[in-house]
Chain A
Amino acid sequence: MGDALRSQEVGTLRPDGNVGTRTKRYGGLERASGAQKYVADLEFPEALQVAIVTIPVGCADILGVDTAEAEAMPGVVGVLTAADLPSPMPRFGVSHKDRPVMADGRVNFYGEPVAAVAALTQEQADAAARVVKVDYRELPGVYTLDAALAPGAHLVQDPSDPTKRAGDALRETNVIEEQTIAWGDLAEQEAKAALVVEDSYSYPMMTQFPIEPLAVIAEPTDVGGLTLYTPVQHPYLMQRIVAGLVGKTLGQVHVIAPDPGGGFGGKQIPKYEPLMAFLALKLGRTVRLTLNLAETTTAIRRAGATVHARTGFTSEGDIVFHHVRIDYQIGAYADVAPRVMTKGSYVGGGPYRLPACLIEARAVLTNTPVSTAMRGYGAPQISWATESQITDGARRLGLDPARVRLRNLVENGEEFVKGEFAGKADGEWKQAVEKAMELAGWDDPLPPNRGRGIAVGIKSSATSGLSQSLVRLLYDGSAIVYAGTSDMGQGARTIWAQTVADELGVPLEKVTVISGDTDLVPFDLQTSASRSTVFMGTAVLRACRDVRRQVREMYAERVGVEPGELDDEPGAVLTAEGAVALDEAARIGLGALRGEVLGQGTCRLEGRKGHPLGGDASFYEFNCSISEVELDAGTGQFVITRHVSVSDVGTELNPIQVTAQEEGGAIMGIGQADMEQLVFDEHGRLLNPSAIDYRVPTYKDVPLELFTSAVENHDGPGPYGSKGMSEGPILCTGAALGAAVTAAAGVKITDLPLTAERIWRATRAAAEGAIA
């Protein structure tokens, strides 16, 4: 197919071009000056403000909802309850259409909407929401993996409901999906092992914590449609899901997605938008929901996990087998969590040459807020265990953990997952390890109380995708690019502007980037899995080349030569007499009526049936991280004295953006390793939604020295040999930091986060054990 993703047309960097330089962020000044309009900044003077009604438990049957008093409150215009919605309750989802627009007779997680109140002011809506009377009977919900997997456990989803999980062999359990990946003979390999490391690990639930909270504005249109304003990473998915729920065509549902103030995966899948769509249509009024950070924390999270692993090593440090069982704690509904499980566990063996491997993974429903995508997807959870196993094996064999990794790492092109759906290395991964070791001073001796740890991580990127782009070269030599990628901070707009500037020879300041509007911008599947540079980047590149082809043909016709006699290159049409600047050639070609040249580009990757990832990965993100800590043995606190993160990015299209994303990913990874966790009580209530007790890193939690670097071999499938990046630095941070703490403290920690209390407890237990 002509629009398939392939690597032979990636182009080369122009020595005088913008791509490959530290081009300043597109829209950066607007952001720094406060002029950028996020969803909450849009003015809708006539909009009603909305408050969501919830109950203070995680699992309950709803016996009645009395809205009479609320409806009589000052300023209240309307209240939406389940009774206002079609029957059966409309449900939505990606792989499983299991999530109700609002609680359907039963609350299945803390924070699930029971009603929504619309009033003239937010204060009025909040006051009325507090007097909506919800009569409920608490049920023995399952809030932990142990509870959900226990015999006779309360089932989060009703197995008798024919609309859900029909015909599913797992329907009488809380396991929504499972996956097994296996190759080689474990027993045969175990016989060769000089050492078997066996341990259990846990990875807590966490939250994306975008500083921009969730917000939705739903506005009925004059022609029976609906406009939604939401900071969503996937506007076209939002459009499809909401249109399906409210029974409108795609053309009737207009999604406007202003650039999100951070997403990190949490703004991909609809949350409150379907409810807001029904509310707007019921009232015939514009309605607005603006959450704060704590409410956002309650609404979006990453899956936690427990892992059990057995790993065999020869005395020289060859890994001969790895057996890992992982249960992901997802929420009450599927969202994208089954895919988090399948993609995360696929790389559960790590980027190693393993003669035998068995990976058994399950996605387990619990009565907790719905987990969704987050940077790294399901890989950090399993990497925490697998990489900690490698470190432990090396330590117990008296071998250098970095060199054990180098010894076992696959070469470029070699399989790290074997079998029908093999996964192969697509980069020179050892270079990242060697570079990280050099930057970290890996072999330098450390003072007392210091420890150093290393880990590597991989993650599969998109396995299917479709991105379409339009590029308009205008008569005055300026250009507009339409690209549906959501710029949530990764800098997508900047990359498109750089690409168009170089390919068309247009000055950077004359390129406009349009995105985030389903009425204006052509289709893009989604902004996820670090795909945009590769997929949308290729579509933009093709649209530019389509413009150049058209200019060349128009110009040839005007000057009376055969198009085949001309050629084009970035920014120019090549004639026998020499190069003609593209904008000049376009003006000649367009002639007296002026007009413009409209180029179109598409990039498509079809999935592969039966593949655990849904298809072959378009590329892998590979990262090596090294942490160095100084431990305060008295309190268990540590300072990260140095942290190194090196990722294989193919080509840096914008080195300063690469640095910012790499540092940001590393710091987020550090926070998720040493302080972050969501804690629920025995009623399923979230105890720490607020920023006071859900801690994220501050300036003072950044490593004293933070070094990031990129491996560039121009071997990626994206424009100019690029690969996606941004998730790499978070994949194995936990294991690198954990190994550093182990080295400094002399005890192995198997549970995250690495809090001072946890380290203190482990060292004290070890000391008491030594005495006893």
Chain B
Amino acid sequence: MSVGTGSLVTVTATINGETRTFTVPGHRTLLDALRSELGLTGTKSSCTEGECGACTVMLDGHAVNSCLVLAAEVDGHEVVTIEGLSVDGGTDLQQAFLEHGAVQCGFCIPGQVMSAEYLLSHNPDPSVEEIRDALSGNLCRCASYNRIVEAVRQTAEKRVSTRG
């Protein structure tokens, strides 16, 4: 085997539904690659140690802290960022955030939205306690916590009733 002669890695991954290829140093995190190499600045950088949740993205359908994933690790995998979730005029969840006053300074909100969508993807009708549990890795210093919980509850109710 060979450990490789250079430290650069070429990564091909599905990012927000598109196949993207980029080359990064081996230690470059997914967070930095998304923001610098791919121009996807909706994913925010704050603690860079997996404590704040601002950099949450979906990797193969699972919420992860992109600061604790190497860009090289996503070769052959699928990543969805906040840009990949968003539609013109906002998703129902994003609109619910606005209706309930959940967006204040806004810096943590893309991460909150990703974690909430991940929760709803496997638990379509979560209780308030389950929402608090599921989102407790996403810090909000404006402390919009109760606003966000209301928004997630309302979205869950609407989605469940629409799907019948």
A and B touch in the complex (CB under 8 A): yes
* Chain A residues in the interface with B (C-beta under 8 A): 22, 24-25, 27-38, 40-41, 43, 123, 208-213, 259-264, 290, 292-294, 488-491, 656-657, 659-661, 663-668, 690-692, 696-700, 702, 706
Which of B100, B104, B105, B113 has most chain A Cβ within 10 Å? Answer: B105
Would you call B143 and A663 a contact (CB within 8 A)? yes
Which residue from B83, B131, B136, B145 sits with its C-beta under 8 Å from A34?
A: B83
Q: Contacts A262-B105, A690-B47 given: A41-B139 contact, CB under 8 Å?
A: no
Residue on A nearest B132 in the bound complex, by CB: A699
Residue on B nearest A37 in the bound complex, by CB: B41
For the complex, what is the distance from the CA of A261 to the CA of B110, rounded to whole Å? 12
Would you call B98 and A699 a contact (CB within 8 A)? no
Which of B49, B51, B113, B135 has most chain A Cβ within 10 Å? Answer: B51
The reply to whether the CB of B76 lies closer than 8 angstroms to some CB of chain A is: no
Nearest first, the 10 closest Cβ-Cβ pairs linking A and B are A34-B42, A31-B106, A261-B107, A489-B105, A667-B143, A34-B82, A691-B51, A656-B101, A489-B104, A41-B41
Would you call B46 and A212 a contact (CB within 8 A)? yes
Q: Contacts A33-B94, A292-B47 given: A664-B144 contact, CB under 8 Å?
A: yes
List B contacts of A41 (CB < 8 A). Answer: 35, 41
Which residue from B41, B98, B139 sits with its C-beta under 8 Å from A211?
A: B139
Q: Contacts A34-B86, A668-B143, A699-B135 given: A659-B101 contact, CB under 8 Å?
A: yes
List A contacts of B86 (CB < 8 A). Answer: 33-35
B69 to chain A, nearest CB (A): 17
A18 to chain B, nearest CB (A): 15
Supply 27 A–B pairs (Cβ within 8 Å), ascending by A. Answer: A25-B101, A25-B104, A28-B98, A29-B90, A32-B103, A32-B106, A32-B110, A33-B110, A34-B40, A34-B82, A41-B35, A123-B27, A211-B52, A259-B105, A259-B106, A261-B106, A293-B51, A488-B105, A491-B104, A660-B102, A660-B144, A660-B147, A664-B142, A691-B49, A697-B143, A702-B143, A702-B146
A380 to chain B, nearest CB (A): 16
Would you call B140 and A211 a contact (CB within 8 A)? yes
Would you call B51 and A34 a contact (CB within 8 A)? no
Contact with A along B61-82 (1 / 0, CB 8 A): 0000000000000000000011
List A contacts of B103 (CB < 8 A). Answer: 25, 28, 31-32
Would you call B47 and A293 a contact (CB within 8 A)? yes
Would you call B43 and A34 a contact (CB within 8 A)? yes
List B contacts of A663 (CB < 8 A). Answer: 143-147
Residue on A nearest B111 in the bound complex, by CB: A211
For the complex, what is the distance from the CA of A70 to the CA of B105, rounded to whole Å? 38
List B contacts of A290 (CB < 8 A). Answer: 45
B154 to chain A, nearest CB (A): 13
For the complex, what is the distance from the CA of A6 to the CA of B35, rounded to whole Å? 48
Would you call B140 and A123 a contact (CB within 8 A)? no
* Chain B residues in the interface with A (C-beta under 8 A): 25, 27, 35, 39-49, 51-52, 54, 81-83, 86, 89-90, 94-95, 97-110, 113, 131-133, 135-149
Which of A31, A260, A264 has most chain B Cβ within 10 Å? Answer: A31
Would you call B83 and A211 a contact (CB within 8 A)? no
List A contacts of B81 (CB < 8 A). Answer: 34
List A contacts of B41 (CB < 8 A). Answer: 34, 37, 40-41
For the complex, what is the distance from the CA of A290 to the CA of B90, rounded to whole Å? 29
Q: Contacts A293-B52, A692-B51 given: A490-B104 contact, CB under 8 Å?
A: yes
Would you call A706 and B52 a contact (CB within 8 A)? no
For the complex, what is the distance from the CA of A692 to the CA of B50, rounded to whole Å? 9
Which of A264, A491, A699 has most chain B Cβ within 10 Å? Answer: A699
Would you call B105 and A211 a contact (CB within 8 A)? yes
List A contacts of B48 (CB < 8 A). Answer: 292-293
Interface of A is mostly: loop
B72 to chain A, nearest CB (A): 15
List B contacts of A31 (CB < 8 A). Answer: 103, 105-107, 109
Q: Add 10 more A-B contacts to A211-B140, A261-B108 (CB < 8 A).
A: A30-B106, A32-B103, A33-B90, A40-B41, A41-B35, A260-B105, A261-B107, A292-B47, A489-B105, A690-B47
Which residue from B44, B83, B136 sits with its C-beta under 8 Å from A698?
A: B136
Which residue from B113, B138, B141, B145 sits with its C-beta under 8 Å from A210?
A: B141
For the complex, what is the distance from the CA of A665 to the CA of B143, rounded to whole Å? 8
Which residue from B40, B47, B102, B104 sits with its C-beta under 8 Å from A294?
A: B47
List A contacts of B109 (CB < 8 A). Answer: 31-32
Would you call B94 and A32 a contact (CB within 8 A)? yes
Would you call B141 and A696 a contact (CB within 8 A)? yes
Which residue from A24, A28, A211 sits with its C-beta under 8 Å from B108?
A: A211
B89 to chain A, nearest CB (A): 8
Which of A28, A208, A665, A690 has most chain B Cβ within 10 Å? Answer: A28
Which residue from A210, A293, A667, A698 sits with its C-beta under 8 Å from B105?
A: A210
A237 to chain B, nearest CB (A): 20
A293 to chain B, nearest CB (A): 4
For the complex, what is the distance from the CA of A490 to the CA of B101, rounded to whole Å? 11
For the complex, what is the distance from the CA of A363 to the CA of B108, rounded to whole Å? 35
Residue on B nearest A122 in the bound complex, by CB: B32
List A contacts of B108 (CB < 8 A). Answer: 211, 261
B66 to chain A, nearest CB (A): 13
B132 to chain A, nearest CB (A): 4
For the complex, what is the distance from the CA of A605 to the CA of B86, rounded to whole Å? 45
List A contacts of B97 (CB < 8 A). Answer: 28, 32
Residue on B nearest A213 in the bound complex, by CB: B46
List A contacts of B100 (CB < 8 A). Answer: 656
Q: Contacts A41-B41, A210-B105, A656-B101 given: A691-B139 contact, CB under 8 Å?
A: yes
B161 to chain A, nearest CB (A): 22
List A contacts of B149 (CB < 8 A). Answer: 699
Q: Contacts A29-B90, A41-B41, A489-B104 given: A690-B147 contact, CB under 8 Å?
A: no
For the complex, what is the distance from the CA of A505 to the CA of B109, rounded to whole Å? 32
For the complex, what is the distance from the CA of A198 to the CA of B148, rounded to whole Å? 43
A407 to chain B, nearest CB (A): 33
Which residue from B25, B47, B95, B104 sits with its C-beta under 8 Å from A660?
A: B104
Which residue from B44, B133, B143 sits with its C-beta under 8 Å from A38?
A: B44
List B contacts of A702 (CB < 8 A). Answer: 132, 143, 145-146
A535 to chain B, nearest CB (A): 21
For the complex, what is the distance from the CA of A423 to the CA of B144, rounded to whole Å? 34
Which residue from B35, B49, B141 sits with its C-beta under 8 Å from A668?
A: B141
Residue on B nearest A657 in the bound complex, by CB: B101
For the complex, what is the distance from the CA of A24 to the CA of B142, rounded to whole Å? 17
Would you call A690 and B94 a contact (CB within 8 A)? no
List A contacts of B49 (CB < 8 A). Answer: 294, 690-692
Would you call A212 and B83 a contact (CB within 8 A)? no
Which residue from A29, A37, A664, A700 sits with its C-beta under 8 Å from B143?
A: A664
List A contacts of B145 (CB < 8 A). Answer: 663, 667, 697-699, 702
Would you call A698 and B94 a contact (CB within 8 A)? no
List B contacts of A210 (CB < 8 A). Answer: 105, 107, 141
For the complex, what is the distance from the CA of A692 to the CA of B109, rounded to whole Å? 21
For the complex, what is the distance from the CA of A260 to the CA of B104, rounded to whole Å? 11
Residue on A nearest B67 in the bound complex, by CB: A292
List A contacts of B39 (CB < 8 A). Answer: 43
A554 to chain B, nearest CB (A): 37
For the complex, what is the distance from the CA of A407 to the CA of B49, rounded to whole Å? 51
For the complex, what is the distance from the CA of A645 to the CA of B101, rounded to whole Å? 18
For the complex, what is the distance from the CA of A656 to the CA of B98, rounded to whole Å? 10
Residue on B nearest A708 in the bound complex, by CB: B146
Which residue from A22, A43, A294 sits with its C-beta under 8 Å from B101?
A: A22
List A contacts of B137 (CB < 8 A). Answer: 698
Residue on B nearest A32 in the bound complex, by CB: B94
List B contacts of A40 (CB < 8 A). Answer: 41, 44-45
